[in-house]
Structures are given as C-alpha cells and as structure tokens.
C-alpha cells in the first residue's frame, strides 16, 4: 500500500537511476496528457512530498503523480501488463520508467507545484517539523484519531497502516476524538519514528519482528487476536468508519475510554523496532534530527 515511506523510497530509486539522463522517448496513455512529449529533456530531480511524486525536467515541467491505492511505478519495461494499464512509459538512456494503473497524473510548469502540494501538512518523510505537526493534529480536535492521522492536510505521509498501528501501540482507540486525548506528542513521535525508519529500511514493519518483511500488529486481516492480551480484535470495513478506511483494534487494550497514551505499552511494543533509536523511549519523545528528508537505503 503506497504511503509516504513508499513514495520516499520510490523518489530515491528513480533519482538514483535516471536523474541527469535524457528522455529518449515517452508515451502517456491519459486523456489529458495524450499529446505531452518530454523527449529531449533531461530529468533534473525527483522528490516525494507526502504521497505525491514530483519529477522535474529541464524544460521547466514537473510530472506529478499520486498512486492512491493501486498505482505502481517500475524502473523497467512491463510488457506483461496490458498496454492500456501502462499509463506512462518514459525511455531514459539506461532504462524505462513505467507507471501502471497510476490514477492521478499531471504535467505542469514546475513553478506551479505549490498548487498541487501546497495544501499538505508537514511531510513526515521529508524535512519534517515535528512541533508544527503536533500542533496541526491537536487543532483537529473534533476528528477521530485515525481520521486526523490520515488527513494529508493535517500531516502528510501516513496511510492506513500508521493510522491503525500507531493507536494500537499507544493503547488508544482509532475512534477516540483527538480533543479528548491528553497528549498528542507521543503519538506523533512514534508515528514519525516508525514511518521514517521504514522509509529508510524498506518494509512497512511496525512490530520489529522479521524486519526484512512487511509486518504489523493488527491491520493484516490474518491477525485474529491481540498479540498482547489475546482478545479477539474488532475489525471494521471501510464502509463502517466515518473516514472510509478499514480499521482494526483490540477492545481490551484500546478502549474508547482511554485518553492517555500508554507509554509503558509503547516502550514494550517498540522494543524490537529500530524506530526506538529515534525516540527517548521513557517519554516517547522524538529526539532524531528530522530537518532533512529521509534517505532510503537500497
Ligand atoms: Zn489487547
């Protein structure tokens, strides 16, 4: 599932492979971009802001894309995928960039980027201002916790994995209103530490177990019971939550009456995860320097 960490890693991969190279040819299979041609231009830079990818070319144009739920980008040809699903193919000197099922695609003057990403909150995987992010979440007092974490205008980068897993780690219910929670700081510190660590290392892992693989405490449908207390998890489909994303929580560990992040619980659950190095664990305060974007390890 593409979230801010996935996009940050994608930006670094595309950048490492193709920045400085000339476009030898390109095809867009999108009504708005049918006549677009980047041939002869050079790829100047690639960046991610939240879940948006921005590729800047020497003709002053930016190719902007958002993968939503199903889009994928490959640094290779994908002849196995039907042509109509290959929304763009850009031929660089050493290889191809292929966008499959990419739902949102724009090409515009680089000077207009703000119009597309200026509304976003602090970028969790970019140069990240944690104090501003905490204040933005606190200001969303009327929102359910998971809805606030998912709202890209509040803070940019979290998808459903972090919106479900961070409340579990903190012992808070996804439905608890932000304004009822005593302290937002540890929730955001833990979420930021997890997504930045995963952007650096790769898999979307929140447990710290089998770190080379994607692994989460409660979101995967195969997980039936709470790994801490053994209670049967409650699951809701996207049609059952006001924020229209599926959710899961432990009714014992995450009661709706809980309004204080459980720091002892967080310390225990983060014990194996390298994200703990970005935190002062006893207080769950973010201590890592987040003033520059995460650089993905390949
Ligand atoms: Zn539990």
- Is pLDDT above 90 for 183? yes
Does this chain's domain 4-117 share its CATH topology with 130-286? no
Q: What is the mean pLDDT of residues 110-136?
A: 97
What pLDDT shows up at residue 164?
Answer: 98
Q: What is the mean pLDDT of residues 79-88?
A: 96
CA of 225 to the centre of ligand 1 (A): 8
| Tens-digit pLDDT profile for residues 53-79 | 999 999 999 999 999 988 999 999 999
What pLDDT shows up at residue 69?
Answer: 86
Those residues whose C-beta lies under 8 Å from the C-beta of residue 203, and which sit 6 or more positions away, are: 211, 212, 213, 214, 215
CA of 166 to the centre of ligand 1 (A): 14
CA of 222 to the centre of ligand 1 (A): 16
CA of 4 to the centre of ligand 1 (A): 28
Q: What is the mean pLDDT of residues 9-30?
A: 97
What pLDDT shows up at residue 100?
Answer: 97
Q: Where are the domains of the chain?
A: 4-117, 130-286
Question: What CATH code would you report for 130-286?
Answer: 1.10.8.50
* pLDDT level of residue 19 (50, 70, 90 thresholds): very high
pTM above 0.85, yes or no: yes
What pLDDT shows up at residue 298?
Answer: 74
* pLDDT level of residue 127 (50, 70, 90 thresholds): very high
CA of 249 to the centre of ligand 1 (A): 8
CA of 237 to the centre of ligand 1 (A): 20
| Tens-digit pLDDT profile for residues 147-164 | 999 999 999 999 999 999
CA of 284 to the centre of ligand 1 (A): 20
Q: What is the mean pLDDT of residues 102-128?
A: 96
Which comes out higher in pLDDT, residue 83 or 34?
A: 83
What pLDDT shows up at residue 34?
Answer: 85
Q: How far apart, in whole angstroms, are the C-alpha atoms of residue 171 and residue 258?
A: 7
What pLDDT shows up at residue 59?
Answer: 98
Q: What is the mean pLDDT of the chain?
A: 96
Query: Per DSSP, what are the bridge partners of residue 28?
Result: 88
CA of 158 to the centre of ligand 1 (A): 23
- Is pLDDT above 80 for 297? yes
- Is pLDDT above 80 for 1? no
What pLDDT shows up at residue 24?
Answer: 98
CA of 268 to the centre of ligand 1 (A): 13
CA of 246 to the centre of ligand 1 (A): 18
| Tens-digit pLDDT profile for residues 201-253 | 999 999 999 889 999 999 999 999 999 999 999 999 999 999 999 999 999 99
* pLDDT level of residue 169 (50, 70, 90 thresholds): very high
What pLDDT shows up at residue 156?
Answer: 98
What is the topology classification, in CATH, of domain 4-117?
Answer: N-terminal domain of MutM-like DNA repair proteins (3.20.190)
């Amino acid at each position: 599932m593409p979230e801010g960490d996935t996009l940050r890693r994608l930006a670094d991969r595309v950048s490492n492979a193709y920045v400085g190279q000339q476009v030898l040819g390109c095809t867009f299979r999108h009504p708005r971009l049918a006549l677009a041609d980047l041939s002869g231009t050079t790829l100047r830079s690639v960046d991610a802001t939240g879940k948006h990818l921005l590729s800047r070319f020497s003709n002053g144009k930016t190719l902007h894309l958002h993968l939503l739920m199903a889009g994928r980008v490959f640094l290779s040809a994908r002849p196995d995928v039907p042509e109509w699903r290959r929304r763009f193919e850009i031929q660089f000197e050493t290889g191809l960039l292929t966008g499959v099922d990419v739902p949102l695609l724009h090409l515009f003057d680089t000077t207009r980027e703000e119009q597309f990403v200026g509304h976003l909150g602090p970028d969790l995987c970019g140069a990240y201002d944690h104090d501003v992010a905490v204040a933005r979440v606190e200001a969303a007092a009327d929102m359910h916790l998971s809805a606030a974490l998912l709202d890209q205008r509040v803070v940019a980068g979290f998808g459903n994995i972090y919106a479900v897993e961070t409340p579990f780690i903190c012992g808070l219910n996804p439905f608890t209103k932000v304004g009822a929670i005593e302290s937002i700081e540890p929730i955001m510190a833990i979420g930021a530490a997890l997504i930045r660590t995963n952007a650096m290392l790769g898999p979307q892992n929140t447990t710290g177990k089998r770190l080379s693989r994607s692994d989460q405490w409660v979101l995967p449908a195969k997980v039936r019971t709470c790994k801490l207390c053994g209670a049967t998890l409650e699951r809701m489909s996207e049609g059952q939550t006001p924020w229209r994303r599926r959710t899961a929580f432990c009714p014992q560990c995450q009661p709706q009456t809980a309004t204080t992040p459980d720091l002892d619980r967080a310390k225990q659950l983060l014990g194996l995860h390298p994200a703990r190095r970005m935190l002062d664990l006893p207080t769950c305060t973010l201590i890592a320097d987040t003033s520059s974007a995460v650089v993905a390890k390949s």
